[in-house]
Amino acid sequence: MTIAVGDRLPDVKLVKATADGPEQVQSSDYFKGKTVALFGVPGAFTPTCSARHLPGFVEKADDLKAKGVDEIVATAVNDAFVMGAWNQSAGSEDITVLADGNGEFAKATGLDADFSGFGMGHRSQRYSMLVEDGVVKQLNVEAPGDFSVSSAEHMLGQM
């Protein structure tokens, strides 16, 4: 079942990419007590993710923070090293990357997708959500192949 507005995020381990290396975090602790603009992508360094999704959140980071967002988080079914390199190459210090290397977060939210036909295995769907104190306040899930409702611009328009 897919997570919905009003649901609490599942409690799973994620890995935060930091300058000092990977740091395991528990999602229930990580999202507690703050407002987070969270976006999920099928994969770091994939075309739409790198050319449009991540750059949109980088560009709109100040606007999101002005609307009350404490942190902007990107997640994908990639390891922390790949996520860290992706953020270094196309992101900014305004974006935190949380690796979902085994896809546990994607599966637990019901936002997983099978990209085996493209040789990519099981990944995350493309989405964005606004999370307040671990509870989903907005959820924008893209149709396969689309990029519109999960953008930073769309999220800003909802706030």
Write out the catalytic residue numbers. 49
Inter-residue contact 110 to 12 (CB < 8 Å): no
Q: Which helix (H) or strand (E) holds 153?
A: helix 152-158
Q: Give the separation between CA 38 and CA 95, rounded to whole angstroms.
A: 10
Structure tokens at 30: 């990580």
Structure tokens at 6: 């009003």
Beta bridge partners of 57: none
Residues whose CB is less than 8 angstroms from the CB of residue 65 and which lie 6 or more positions away in sequence, other chains included: 94
**Dihedral sign of CA atoms 66, 143, 79, 108 in order:** positive
**Looking at this protein, which amino acid is placed at residue 21?**
G
SS3 138: strand
